[in-house]
Structures are given as structure tokens and as C-alpha cells.
Structure 1
């Protein structure tokens, strides 16, 4: 199994720094090449450049949460979710289909249901490990 990962092209995990203009300021984002490849695919689905999708994500994240603590981590999670949502069938595999045209509210509801179902199927021992210390002590 590990050979699928170990024998992959090492350039995929090399990092690349890209300059981007976000929220009126020029900044840089450092990500592994595999994430830049995925971000290019995500952006191209809506006919955007990588810089444009990064700026949009940053602005909407700022608007929704008021702060952006680790934008690079957020982008990695976006890429992982993109692939997970494709595997679940919520985002069509056809790269020609726009993401902006999808019903985000329905997709998020289905995703939340899947996560809730997985949490319910999680072994009791792992759930106990995830509880805050005060909850675990009360058991």
C-alpha cells in the first residue's frame, strides 16, 4: 500500500511560494505543488485564475469568520474537501462543470449527514479520547 505514496513524484510535496494580492495587500502563500495543481483545477472550473480564487476565498473567509489565522492550512483543507466531495458525488468529476453553479446548501447538508453518520459509527474508545478532559473525568 505505501508504495502508492512512497513512489509518487517527489515534486508533488515540494513547496512553492506564490505572490498574491488579497484584501488590498500583496502577500505570499507557500504550499506543496500538489495543492497548487488542485487549486488550478478548482479555479479553472469557474474560469478563474489561481490568484483570483485565492483572493475570493480569503475575502469570503474574512467576511464569514472575521479573521484568517492560517490561510495555507485553510487552502489545504479546501483541496482535501474538493476531492472528498468529488468522491461522494457532490461535485461532478467533469472539470468543465462550474462549482459556483452547484447547490452549496444541499451539498453541505449531505456532507454534514455523512460526518454525523461516521461519528455515530465511531468506536466508543475513540469518542472517549476526543472528549475534553472534564467530560472524560465525569464518566
Structure 2
């Protein structure tokens, strides 16, 4: 099983830095390309650019929690939560098909 992970294309875990505007201030975020791909997909699904999606997510977290101590970590966790929800939905759908 480790071979599946060990054989991953290094491009997927190379990092890329992008600039985003958060509440009127430009900042840069460095994430692995795999996370950028997930964020690009989430944003496209809502008719937004990744920058717009991140800005909206950031604003919602600030409104709810008051602070984002580590933006990159918050984005990675948001991607992980998205994947967990997607997998749970797929498992539920598969269970319904088998019933």
C-alpha cells in the first residue's frame, strides 16, 4: 500500500506560492500543488476563482472564529474536510445502490 503513496508524482507535492487579497490586503500563500488543485475545483464549483474562494472562506472564518492563525493550515484542513465529506457522500450513495 505504501507504494501507492511513494510512487506519487513529485509535481503533486511541489509547492506553489500564489497571491490572494484578503479584506483588502494582498498576501501570499504557499501550498502543495495538490491542495491548489482541490481549491481550484472547489472555487470553480461555486463560479469563483481560487482567490475569490479563499477570500470568502477567510472572511467566514474570521466572522465565526475571529482569527485565522495560520492561513495555509486552514486551507489544507478545508481541503481535507471537503475530501472527507465527498468520500462519506460517495459511501452513502454506494450503500443506497446496494440496498
Unaligned segments of structure 1, at least 5 residues: 91-139
| C-alpha distance in 1 between matches for 2:77 and 2:66 | 18
Q: Name the residue aligned to 1:58.
A: 58
How large is the RMSD of aligned CA atoms in angstroms?
1.0
CA drift of 1:85 comes to 0.3
Q: Which has the larger radius of gyration?
A: 1
Counterpart for residue 6 of structure 1: 6
Structure whose residues are more often strand by fraction: 2
CA offsets per residue over residues 28-63 of structure 1, 9 Å max, x none? 000000000000111111111000000001111111
Structure number with higher helix proportion: 2
> What is the TM-score of this pair, normalised by structure 2?
0.88
Deviation sequence 1:105-134 (CA, Å, 0-9, x none): xxxxxxxxxxxxxxxxxxxxxxxxxxxxxx
Q: Point out which structure has higher relative CO (alpha carbons under 8 A, 6+ apart).
A: 2
Following the alignment from structure 1 to structure 2, what is the Cα–Cα distance between the partners of residues 60 and 83? 20
In structure 1, the partner of 2:34 is 34
Query: TM-score, normalization: structure 1?
Result: 0.63
